[in-house]
Chains A and B, each alone.
Chain A
Amino acid sequence: MSGHENTPEDDVQRDDPMIAAEWALGLLEGEELLAARGKYAADPQFAWRKEWWDGWFAPLTDAMPGAEPGEHVWDGIAARIAAQRPGGAADAPAAPAANVVELQARVRRWQWAAGLSSMAAAVALAWLALAPSPVVVAPALPVAAAAPLVATVPIGETGLRLDVTYIPESERMVVGAVGLKHDGVHDHELWLVPKDGSALQSLGVVAPGEVRSMTLPAAVTAKLGDGAALVLTREPIGGKPEGQEAGPVVAKGAFTRV
């Protein structure tokens, strides 16, 4: 999000502890912010330093006057917790339900790691719970935590964007379209542009205003990597019709490993 900078800023080394400090202060945005979140999840040293700054800055909050929230706030919390309690909503067969619960736990972890809002998590969970096809969960292999890939796809000059996070360990991708609105006439479809020049792979229609989590087929994950590009096309409702050309590209982005 930073424009060109004429003033040299290299007089202070911008190492990880410095990025942790900037993040703790809340200065980061855009890709820098996503990168910091990813590093937090993957690098204990960085996480420690971020929390070190958080701890030191915390006393400053004492200067912020307290305020009484509305009573509905607690009701909302209690209701959300009751709804998310395992076993609180299960008329699905036992085995798939267990899978969904396992997935929910994973997604929750990722949401947490990625620092997305729990409202987003709730949306992703609701979507998972309603997914018509049985959700296949990869066996929980002891995989070394691979660094997530992140991409920001800015939408024109609107200041809005898609936040795309791919977590290699889980083969899941989280697409956040918070702030985007449905125009009622179009859908937008997200495509992976493989680096090897092979055909574009559809990553599905974007759900405006939501954060969705999806499992990617192996054919797609094989093409995913640092530098893989994403494009967003405008399509009729429902996405690109079979046998027709894809619509115009309205936004682009690329994955970076964090």
Chain B
Amino acid sequence: MREIRKILIANRGEIANRIIWTCKEMGIKTVAVFSEADREALHVRYADEALCIGPAASAVSYLNIPSIISAAEITNVDAIHPGYGFLAESATFAKICEDCNIKFIGPRPDVIAMMGDKVEARRTMTAAGVPILPGSPEPIESPEEARLLALEIGFPLIIKAAAGGGGRGMRIVREEAELASNLELAQTEALNAFKNGSVYIERYIERPRHIEIQVLADEHGNVIHLGERECTIQRRHQKLLEEAPSPAISKELRDQMGAVAVKACQEIGYSSAGTFEFLLDEDDSFYFMEMNTRIQVEHPVTEMVTLADIVRNQIRIATGEVVGYTQEEVQIVGHSIECRINAEDPVKFTPSPGKITAFNIPGGPGVRVDTAVYPGYVVPPYYDSMIAKLIVHARTRELAIARMSRALDMMVVEGIKTTIPLHQKIMADENFQKGNFSTKFMEEFKYEI
């Protein structure tokens, strides 16, 4: 067991504030670090101590390992909470903390490294019995190989350039008859675009949902899951809003997916909080995409329906305590939705930094706002654009949507543009209300503001 009396928060924005809240409740002292652009940030004001660690650019401030470790040493902290993003999934940073005898609040460095390497993660997960999207492990050598693999993988499938990315160098094949010609075309395109004609094939899910499972594991081998989050509403692979539980997940499916995640954690010796991301097909088959070895932006919806405090659990686990509840004790109560409020134009999504001249957050039953902004705050242009998370909780999904609509209407942010109007449109959308959507939702969503 180790005592944690003081924590340095190696992050900024709303998550830094979030960590401070729980630390205050636990009687733990906090140290905030900030870049020169964040002198007026809220987390700097609420922390017990604060230190400037560098200029505005993240590379020399929030990603500056020597600066952060030095700050941790001169303030004598017991632990560092990395939040999400920045150094949260840096195995190097976790290892350096260990070497400097500062407890890194998260899993061990070798586990972070393993899950951070996509190829390695897939291999490990397969060995642990986690379903992976069927695909060719190596680049395709011949049309005959492709044909044989396609029989195993099934249609539709997608041909992807090994050296490609960002949606380029991909061809969807829906029938065997189309395979050979598409393969040849894909290889030629890849060669022309990326100087590398290697291609893989993989099962293609037409209308997937993005479902993730929250896990909590201690350092003694106890692992539980806290249910799923529905994160399907995305734009260009960025989540816009999340909910728990998912309207598409039955209790049986939840138990099944949860059990898979728990077993995988036990196999790899996982500890602290983590999230397994899956793609869910329309026939309820699910496939591992990746694991995030940190707390996630959307953790509040899980907290609302399970009454858990995920940050608190991370800190307790870091002191060596056991998880403290059994799987049977985990109850999902009611429905929660979170909308990410970004400082962006709600139609063009162009960033809108600047001074917030008015800021009024909605209150009332079942409303939670996680934010780091305040009236008069100047949103800096150097970091991500999320300024607040608006979260609601109600007894049913229908009531939660009504509550979110009301809360969005009563949230006032002036001086900058925000995506509040977009969220209002989504809440009012018939398909959303029916729970009828896939990751294609935003592509197909027509709205005017």
Asked if A pairs with B, the answer is no
**Residues of B at under 8 Å CB distance from A?**
none
